[in-house]
């Protein structure tokens, strides 16, 4: 495999999903004792801090819930209706007033409209990329992919995702899981995984903890989060102590960077097996039935409820991906990818789920006193085309689209930027993914102007010249 000049595999380390013989032996030793968690965790890292980190809003968010609406939500049918445009542009829905005088959303979001005073909407987000995977890469990492082609596979030279960077540079203090992605990773089709969802060039020690699960269950079962059958707490402690003794005895002679990272991952695995609060977050039946109903008993709604529970348990960042439905690969409008029957799809399935669940999440966080310290960001990889096509759908559109932020002191009740009269390009204040990434990092206490060291010891910028959106964060 050929690598770009900016990425070279470490000596003695495999690439493209491989693992060295020495690491296989170590993983095998742990697995034989019923402990196979370490590969799920990323190692910590240190970033340089620049003068821009010293303002009052820096680090105001203790945690973040990043909602990723796979497929590309249509801006016209959500946050940026165009009531004065021709029918083939505006569609069949009306715009409705929100809790902020003068600001209107589409009528498909009645519950969200009531929370507008708690939200900031960016109507001028742009990637200028019309492919799911590479526009998604841009949004999830803040760095532009070298290609604009569709279905680009993950590569070891990919930039780390926002979730990976936060988990590595700002690990949570209350949970061994610093950064979590659920209920599944994002892919175009069952076998085409998007790039930009993991630790990328920083390797598996930076990977977020991907929890493939169904939160509709009473107790969400995650492989590796409970002790193996027949292993008591006492036996687990004994096995942990034995492995640590073996590590001290045999590991002292050869302690390279890879082994140090592995030891950190191993320790986090032990911590999680002992972390009752983290494990209890997956016991969904602890929640009142009425609240679960308000979130919605579908997979997306329960994923948002689980994200709130994980934040309460001390997880720093939870990324909730819009989940696929059974059989949706055989239809023309899976997820938010509404190439056909856009109006029917957003009216009957998509917006009712998002609207009720998202508004409930904000209300729930606020009632629990968590909204002021939890940043909630709702994004997609792009928007949809201004003109409705012959199949009644809207096609891929990276020219302009909307994203929403709330919580963590974000100035609510405001709209940043605007699109033109048909919702096709930014009309004012264009915002690009590096700016959004910089704002998220800033609020979480990761200096967007700082650096980290890659596996070869070279300094890397945390953002690609991203500029913090001061309208959102204030001073």
Domains of the chain, residue spans: 47-225+282-473
Q: For residue 80, what are the CA distances in angstroms to 121, 173, 349?
A: 9, 38, 19
Q: Is the dihedral of CA 154, 449, 121, 302 positive or negative?
A: positive
Fold of 47-225+282-473: Alkaline Phosphatase, subunit A (3.40.720)
pLDDT in the model for residue 2: 37
**Per-chain mean pLDDT for the chain:** 85
Mean pLDDT of 19-36: 38
Ranges 25-34, 192-201, 221-230, 337-346: which has the least confidence? 25-34
Measure the CA angle with vertex 224, ends 222 and 226; round to 5°.
85
Q: Which residue has the higher pLDDT, 405 or 191?
A: 405
pLDDT at 247: 59
- Give the rounded percent of residues in the chain with a pLDDT score beyond 70: 76
pLDDT of residue 222: 79
Task: Give the model confidence (pLDDT) of 87-120 as tens digits.
Answer: 999 999 999 999 999 999 999 999 999 999 999 9
pLDDT at residue 279 in the model: 82
Task: Assess whether pLDDT exceeds 50 at residue 193.
Answer: yes
Residue 348 DSSP one-character state? I
Instruction: Give the side-chain half-sphere CA count within 13 A for 173.
Output: 1
What does the pLDDT average to over 351-375? 98
Residue 266 has pLDDT above 90, yes or no: no
**What is the per-residue pLDDT for 344?**
96
State yes or no: pLDDT of 185 exceeds 60.
yes
Residue 273 has pLDDT above 90, yes or no: no
| pLDDT the model gives residue 241 | 60
pLDDT of residue 130: 98
What tokens does 416 get?
């940043």
Bridge-based pairing of strands 63-68 and 374-379 is parallel
Could you tell me if 43 and 230 are in contact, meaning their C-beta atoms sit under 8 angstroms apart? no
For residue 256, give both structure tokens: 């390279």
Q: What share of the chain in percent tops pLDDT 90?
A: 71
Q: Range with the lowest mean pLDDT among 62-71, 94-103, 181-190, 293-302?
A: 181-190
pLDDT at position 202: 97
Task: Specify the pLDDT at position 251.
Answer: 55
pLDDT top residue among 251 and 413: 413
pLDDT at 152 over 90: yes
Task: Compute φ and ψ for 375, nearest 5 degrees.
Answer: -85, 125
Q: Which pLDDT value is given to residue 239? A: 55
Task: Tell me the Cα Rg of the chain.
Answer: 22
Lowest-pLDDT choice from 35-44, 61-70, 117-126: 35-44
For residue 113, the 8-state DSSP code is H
SS3 164: helix
For the stretch 334-349, pLDDT in tens is 999 999 999 999 999 9
pLDDT of residue 173: 84
pTM: 0.84
Residue 439 has pLDDT above 90, yes or no: yes
C-alpha distances (whole Å) from 413 to each of 13, 30, 102, 374, 409 are 50, 52, 10, 17, 12
Whether the pLDDT of residue 414 is over 70: the answer is yes
pLDDT beyond 50 at 215: yes
């Amino acid at each position: 495999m050929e690598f770009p000049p900016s990425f070279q595999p470490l000596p003695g380390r495999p690439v493209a999903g491989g693992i060295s013989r020495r690491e296989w032996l170590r993983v095998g030793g742990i697995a034989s004792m019923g402990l196979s968690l370490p590969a799920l965790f990323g190692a910590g890292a240190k970033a340089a801090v620049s003068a821009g980190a010293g303002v009052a809003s820096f680090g105001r968010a203790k945690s973040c819930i990043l909602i990723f609406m796979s497929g590309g939500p249509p801006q016209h049918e959500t946050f940026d209706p165009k009531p004065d445009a021709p029918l083939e542009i505006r569609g069949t829905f009306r715009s409705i007033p929100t809790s902020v005088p003068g600001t209107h959303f589409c009528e498909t979001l009645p519950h969200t409209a009531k929370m507008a005073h708690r939200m900031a909407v960016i109507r001028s987000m742009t990637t200028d990329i019309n492919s799911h995977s590479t526009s998604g890469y841009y949004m999830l990492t803040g760095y532009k992919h070298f290609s604009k082609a569709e279905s680009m596979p993950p590569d070891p030279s990919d930039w780390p995702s926002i979730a990976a960077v936060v988990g590595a540079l700002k690990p949570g203090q209350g949970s061994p899981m610093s950064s979590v992605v659920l209920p599944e990773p994002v892919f175009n089709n069952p076998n085409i995984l998007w790039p930009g969802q993991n630790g990328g060039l920083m390797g598996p020690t930076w990977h977020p903890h991907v929890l493939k699960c169904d939160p509709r269950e009473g107790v969400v079962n995650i492989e590796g989060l409970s002790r193996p059958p027949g292993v008591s707490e006492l036996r687990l402690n004994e096995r942990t102590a034995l492995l640590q003794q073996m590590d001290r005895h045999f590991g002292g002679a050869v302690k390279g960077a890879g082994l140090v990272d592995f030891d950190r991952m191993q320790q986090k695995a032990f911590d999680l097996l002992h972390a009752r609060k983290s494990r209890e977050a997956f016991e969904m039946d602890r929640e009142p039935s009425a609240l679960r109903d308000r979130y919605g008993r579908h997979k997306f709604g329960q994923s948002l409820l689980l994200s709130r529970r994980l934040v309460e348990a001390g997880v720093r960042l939870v990324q909730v991906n819009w989940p696929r439905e059974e059989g949706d690969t055989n239809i023309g409008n899976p997820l938010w990818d509404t190439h056909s029957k856009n109006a029917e799809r957003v009216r009957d399935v998509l917006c009712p789920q998002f609207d009720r669940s998202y508004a409930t999440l904000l209300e729930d966080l606020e009632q629990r006193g968590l909204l002021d310290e939890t940043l909630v960001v709702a994004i997609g990889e792009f928007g949809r085309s201004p003109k409705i096509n012959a199949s009644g759908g809207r096609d891929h559109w990276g020219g302009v689209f909307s994203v929403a932020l709330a919580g963590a002191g974000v100035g609510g009740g405001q709209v940043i930027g605007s699109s033109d009269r048909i919702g096709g390009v930014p009309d004012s204040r264009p915002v690009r993914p590096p700016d959004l990434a910089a704002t998220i990092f800033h609020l979480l206490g990761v200096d967007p102007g700082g650096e980290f060291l890659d596996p070869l010891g070279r300094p890397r910028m945390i953002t690609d010249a991203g500029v913090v959106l001061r309208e959102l964060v204030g001073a």
